[in-house]
Amino acid sequence: MKTILLIEDNLSIRENTCELLELEGYKVICASNGKTGLQLAKKELPDIILSDVAMPMMNGHELFAALKKDSSTRDIPFVLLTSSVEKKEIQAALEKGVNGFIGKPFEKDVLFQKISFLLLENNS
């Protein structure tokens, strides 16, 4: 069973997304901010990380940079859940190596497809 680390500060979105992914058959670990998310990522070494951008303590971009610094977490696929529609911001993050973007609000199928695609790509 693949493990997903979900980092999101909004309680409803966090719980709902977590439940959706569990129903799809994944093991989900949740964190409410970037800092906890980083600790959990190092500890649990999930197969994929989904993260919100605007969060207290450490935002999505900072978290990604921190993950890239650590050899154990460097290769974990990283997807940003973002409210931003700024193309520049998306472009800049993709150039830094973020594996994917999912714009809010998102359809569950888009979320599932993105995750299964990235997991498959990472395995091969």
Partner 1 sequence: MKSPKNISIQKKLLKFILMISGIILFVTCIAFSVCEYYTFRSTTLLNLSTIGKVIAANSTAALAFDNNLDAEEILTALKAESHVIAACLYDKDGNLFSQYTSGSSVHPFPEKPEEDGYRFEHFYVIGFEPVILGNNRLGTLYMKSDLKAMFARFKIWGIILISVLLGGFALAYFLSGILQKSISRPILALAETVKEISNVMDYSMRAKRSDNDELGLLTTAFNQMLTQIQEQNLEIKSFNHMLEQKVIERTLELTDSLEREQEMNEMKSRFVSMASHEFRTPLTAILSSISLIEMYGTDQEDVKKGKQIERIKSSVKNLTHILNDFLSLEKMEHGKVEIENEKFDLNEFSKDIIEELKGMLKQGQSINFSGGGVMDLFQDKTILKNVLLNLLSNAIKYSEVDKEINLLASVSNNLVSIIVRDQGIGIPAGEQKNMFGKFFRAKNVSHIEGTGLGLNIVKKYIELLDGTICFESKHKQGTSFTVEFPQNSKYENNIAY
C-alpha to C-alpha distance for 111 and 124, rounded to whole angstroms: 21
Q: Does 35 bind partner 1 (CB under 8 A)?
A: no
Segment contacting partner 1 by CB under 8 A, of 42-50, 77-85, 93-101, 114-122: 77-85
Cβ-contact 73, 45 below 8 angstroms: yes
- What is the helix (H) or strand (E) element at residue 50, kind and residue range? strand 48-52
- What is the helix (H) or strand (E) element at residue 43, kind and residue range? helix 34-44
Is the CB of 56 or the CB of 97 nearer to partner 1? 56
First to last CA, the chain: 17
Q: Does 12 bind partner 1 (CB under 8 A)?
A: yes
Among 3, 36, 59, 122, binds partner 1 (CB under 8 A): 59
Phi, psi at residue 27, to the nearest 5°?
-90, 125
Is the CB of 22 or the CB of 121 nearer to partner 1? 22
Residue 25 C-beta: closest distance to partner 1, Å: 12
The closest of 20, 22, 25, 26 to 48, measured between CA atoms, is 26
Is the CB of 3 or the CB of 59 nearer to partner 1? 59
Q: Does 16 bind partner 1 (CB under 8 A)?
A: yes
Note the residues at the interface with partner 1 (CB under 8 A): 9-10, 12-13, 16-17, 19-20, 23, 54-56, 59, 83-85, 104-108
